[in-house]
Structure 1
Amino acid sequence: MLYELAQLTLQIGATQKAVAGIKAYVSDSAAKGTLLGCWSSEIGELNKVAVLRGFADAAELRDERKRALEGSNPFSCLDVLTHLEMDSYAPFPGIAPVKPGALGPIYEIRTYALKPDGLPGTIAAWQASLPARNALSANLVVMHTLDGPPRFTHIWPYASLEQRTAIRTKSVATGVWPPAGGPANIAVMKNGIWLPTEISPLK
């Protein structure tokens, strides 16, 4: 499975209107892929919606990207949309496909820009360390970009902000996290806390 993570920056107060448009857009008969998550930003950059979709193959992903780029109303919310980013991703080796479910309601989305040669070392570090980290709380997905600057994104669901803090503190204190050698490959780090919208299959 391949993924697209789209981030839509909206006019202030326009989230509900945008989400209605997004629902129509991804449900259209011409749409490809499967909606997995749709979140609104809570901590970090505000007035944003993130849309995660899964695709069976590169052709399906390419066709859907073409629909957005050549269409007159991407995500059916152009009247409140001020900026749009769409990135294509492949999961790290061995990562299970994302499945809908009630895993949150707190979702942390982290995107790290890699050094030019950083992807192989990052994958190796994560493969070695992720099982122990998953024993504390399960990772939803970790995936690397297929285009643009080299980056990878990992998404973590939590029951609460308090649970997130407790688990992250324990993971560092016990030496489980971050992955040994992983930080050496990272150039820039960005994260945000997101909440599921009413259309999100991931709750």
Structure 2
Amino acid sequence: MFYEIATLTLPFGTAAPANAGVEAFSTSPEAGGELLGVWFSDIGVLNQMTVLRGFDTAEALWAERERTLRHADPFGCGALYVDLALHAYRGFPWMKPVRPSAESGILGPVYEIRTYGIKPGGVQPTIDLWEKYLPARHERSPCVAAMVALDGAPRFTNIWAYPSLDARAKARGQAVADGIWPPKGGPAWLTTSMTSTIALPTAASRLR
């Protein structure tokens, strides 16, 4: 699967109209891909809306990117957003495609979106290590997506679902204490470029 993460930086107080615009733009008849997640940042860089869309092929992803770039009102928020950043990804090949909560049963409502820079030569080792170690970690709290960037700096992004911030702290702490996470040898392939955002689903999100 291929994915796009769009990050819209919005003026204070515009989340509701932006949410409506994102949903209309992403589900219109001419839209490509599938709207999966729409979140608003709660911890991290504030006043940001993150939109996750899925695509069956790279061609479909780039066609939708072209539509977005040429559109007079991208994401229905052209008159609202202060900044729009678009990032293309390919899911780790062994990961199941991201599906809406109604199908997968995976629920938040607290989502963490983490991005790590990857050192040269680190993409395949990272994918292999996560394949080995993620199943045990996934049992503690579900990993919604793990994906490698197709544009910009070498990096990968992973998205996790938690019922609460307390549950997140407990799952992460116990995984470290039990020695199942992070993957042994994995941090050696990472740069110091690391970001984390705690975000909550909006009404338009199919991941709830």
What is the CA–CA distance in structure 2 between the aligned matches of 1:51 and 1:132, rounded to whole Å?
28
Paired AA for residue 196 in structure 1: P
Paired AA for residue 56 in structure 1: D
Residue equivalent to 1:18: 18
What is the CA–CA distance in structure 2 between the aligned matches of 1:116 and 1:8, rounded to whole Å?
29
1:163 aligns with 2:184: no
Q: For 1:167-192, what per-residue CA distance to the aligned partner results, in whole angstroms no more than 9, with x for missing partners?
A: 00100001010111111111111001
Residue equivalent to 2:150: 146
Paired AA for residue 135 in structure 1: E
Residue equivalent to 1:71: 71
What is the CA–CA distance in structure 2 between the aligned matches of 1:93 and 1:130, rounded to whole Å?
13
Runs of 4+ with >2 A deviation: none
Residue equivalent to 1:6: 6
Displacement of 1:157: 0.1
What is the CA–CA distance in structure 1 between the aligned matches of 2:129 and 2:185, rounded to whole Å?
6
Residue equivalent to 1:47: 47
Displacement of 1:73: 1.3
Displacement of 1:14: 1.0
Displacement of 1:41: 0.3
1:120 aligns with 2:138: no
What is the CA–CA distance in structure 1 between the aligned matches of 2:76 and 2:90, rounded to whole Å?
26
Displacement of 1:75: 0.6
What is the CA–CA distance in structure 2 between the aligned matches of 1:50 and 1:170, rounded to whole Å?
28
Displacement of 1:116: 2.3
Report SS of the residue matched to 1:103.
coil
Q: For 1:130-177, what per-residue CA distance to the aligned partner results, in whole angstroms no more than 9, with x for missing partners?
A: 111112122111000112211100000000000000000100001010
What is the CA–CA distance in structure 2 between the aligned matches of 1:82 and 1:114, rounded to whole Å?
29
Report SS of the residue matched to 1:80.
coil
Residue equivalent to 1:192: 197
Report SS of the residue matched to 2:82.
strand
Residue equivalent to 1:60: 60
Displacement of 1:93: 2.1
What is the CA–CA distance in structure 2 between the aligned matches of 1:56 and 1:121, rounded to whole Å?
25
2:137 to 133, 139, 147: 133
1:201 to 178, 188, 206: 206
Aligned length in residues: 203
C-alpha RMSD of matched pairs (Å) = 0.9
Structure 2 unaligned spans of 5+: none
What is the CA–CA distance in structure 2 between the aligned matches of 1:14 and 1:114, rounded to whole Å?
34
What is the CA–CA distance in structure 1 between the aligned matches of 2:171 and 2:22, rounded to whole Å?
33
Residue equivalent to 1:103: 107
TM-score, length-scaled by structure 1: 0.97
What is the CA–CA distance in structure 1 between the aligned matches of 2:30 and 2:120, rounded to whole Å?
37
What is the CA–CA distance in structure 1 between the aligned matches of 2:174 and 2:39, rounded to whole Å?
27
2:178 to 174, 179, 183: 174
TM-score, length-scaled by structure 2: 0.95
